[in-house]
Amino acid sequence: MAYAATAGGYPSHLTAAPGILALQRALVWLAGASCAIVFIEPSPYELVTLVAAVLFVATGLRLRLVFMPLLLLLVLLNVGYSIGAIPLLDQADVASWIATSWYMAVTVMFFAMVVSDDTAARLDMLRRGLIVGAMIASLAAIAGYFNLVPGGHDLLTLYERGRGTFKDPNVLGAFLILPSLFVLQSVVLDRFGKAFRNTIALGILALAILLAFSRAAWGGLVITSAFMLALMVLTSRSSAERSRIIVMAIVAVVAGVTLIAVLLSFDSIAEMFSQRASLDQSYDEGRFGRFGRHILGADMALDLPFGIGPLQFHHYFPEDTHNSYLNAFMSGGWISGVCYPALVFLTVIIGFRHVLVRVPWQRAYLAIFSAFLGTVGENFVIDTDHWRHFWLMLGTMWGMFAAAQRHKASANPAVTAPAQASQRP
């Protein structure tokens, strides 16, 4: 049985023709780019991932033992959702919600299996695709906010907030964080020409995040950027590189503060910024406010083994849960309520264990892990259940876990020697 070496330098999958490898990588790029266009359903992302899954299965895809905990938790999570939805399946929106949840689980497994092979090359294509998609979404949001195209303001904004190619400004802001981290890495590490181009791209992405007026996205960008840069300093291989990261990070902060100061000179932006930056929003306060609902909903969840079903929380309270962990309990009962946080925090724990693992794709790993960790925190204040990029990051994380294990094994002669001997004719 012949094997091909990946960019990581170890055998990973059956030998494929160069044309097949190019097609596979192109599909990964397209999946990343289409992830930014989700204002229609089914979105281009659903169609692309479906076609990609079929073609990858036909050309080579491997389900590994390391994915079994992931697969089990995803199945149990959606079984809980499905049980909770049984009395409500005559409602079209509930049936659609369940179908989407199962499909998101499929995409997790798909990206895990895809990224576990040809890891460095496929991660690079995914990174490139996400950045292209983010630029499209950002430029659309900026054009809509400043009414740069006829009719664009109504189509590309919501409540005077930029939403671009998304239905919700909050989701736009959250999606842009990972591409922003990728671009920031280039700004602080790459040579002048590439760093300069990415500085312009980072400015566009940051402007779009600002104009989305999402407090979670603002905080998420700052926190995840600081966390990622700290990890980059920690894992850097040279003092010169560490110094460059620190200096360029300081320059980026100064440039960001300057950009914000300039934008706040516009009265409309300053007024919206002041309103959104306030910590005493009316929908957050009171017994039935965002955080009051969390407490009341958690109390309800303890008495409802099968939950109340998907999309039903707003029938009991003024608004939705705005907490993904609570929503798992309410939508899928105790099964989903236990499996969802177990899935998330298991990934986080394993993720921390791989931070210091030396792999060829460590730079991409640090960005994805930082963005994923930020979304895990955001889960406490918003519903991320069907955010395509969240499930994409989850699957990609597990794919990198599997690839890292094999990379470490290939670097250990005591492990690889018996395997190589067994492959000899």
Residues 61-69: contacts with CB within 8 Å, 24+ apart? 61/113, 61/114, 62/13, 62/113, 62/116, 62/117, 63/109, 63/113, 64/113, 64/116, 64/402, 66/398, 66/401, 66/402, 66/405, 67/109, 67/112, 67/113, 67/398, 67/402, 69/346
What is the percentage of the chain residues whose pLDDT exceeds 70?
A: 89
- Residue at 12 is within a domain: no
**Is it the case that residue 8 has pLDDT exceeding 80?**
no
- Residue at 1 is within a domain: no
| pLDDT tens, residue by residue, 325-369 | 999 999 999 999 999 999 999 999 999 999 999 999 999 999 999
Cβ-based burial of 211 (10 A; exposed 0-12, middle 13-18, buried ≥19) = buried
Q: Which of 24, 77, 70 is nearest to 398 (CA)?
A: 70
Confidence of residue 414 (pLDDT cuts 50, 70, 90): low
Amino acid at 390: F
Strands (E), 125-231: 157-158, 161-162
**Is it the case that residue 134 has pLDDT exceeding 90?**
yes
Q: Which of 168, 179, 172 is nearest to 208 (CA)?
A: 172
Higher-scoring residue by pLDDT: 25, 264: 25
**Is it the case that residue 14 has pLDDT exceeding 70?**
no
Confidence of residue 412 (pLDDT cuts 50, 70, 90): low
Q: Is the pTM of this model over 0.75?
A: yes
| pLDDT tens, residue by residue, 369-384 | 999 999 999 999 888 8
Q: Which of 350, 367, 368 is nearest to 405 (CA)?
A: 350
* Angle of helix 362-378 versus helix 169-189 axis, rounded to 10: 150
pLDDT of residue 410: 79
pLDDT of residue 321: 83
Number of domains in the chain: 1
Mean pLDDT of 102-115: 96
- Residue at 193 is within a domain: yes
**Plot region of 319 (φ>0 → left; ψ -120 to 50 → alpha; else → beta):** beta
Q: What are phi and psi of 60, to 5 degrees?
A: 130, 110
Q: What is the DSSP letter of 161?
A: E
- Residue at 419 is within a domain: no
pLDDT of residue 283: 54
Mean pLDDT of 4-25: 62
Identify the weakest region by mean pLDDT among 144-158, 173-187, 212-226, 270-284. 270-284
pLDDT of residue 20: 87
Q: Are 124 and 103 in contact (CB under 8 A)?
A: no
- Residue at 421 is within a domain: no
pLDDT of residue 165: 93
What is the domain extent for residue 23? 17-280+289-412
Identify the weakest region by mean pLDDT among 18-22, 205-209, 270-274, 279-283. 279-283
* Helix (H), strand (E) at residue 376: helix 362-378
The residues with which 162 forms a beta bridge, in sequence order, are: 157
- Residue at 7 is within a domain: no
- Residue at 10 is within a domain: no
Q: Are 117 and 6 in contact (CB under 8 A)?
A: yes
Cα torsion at 310, 315, 318, 320 (round to 10°)?
Answer: 0
- Residue at 418 is within a domain: no
Q: Which of 290, 277, 255, 153 is nearest to 210 (CA)?
A: 277
Please tell me whether residue 13 adopts helix, strand or coil conformation: strand
**Is it the case that residue 206 has pLDDT exceeding 70?**
yes
pLDDT of residue 280: 59
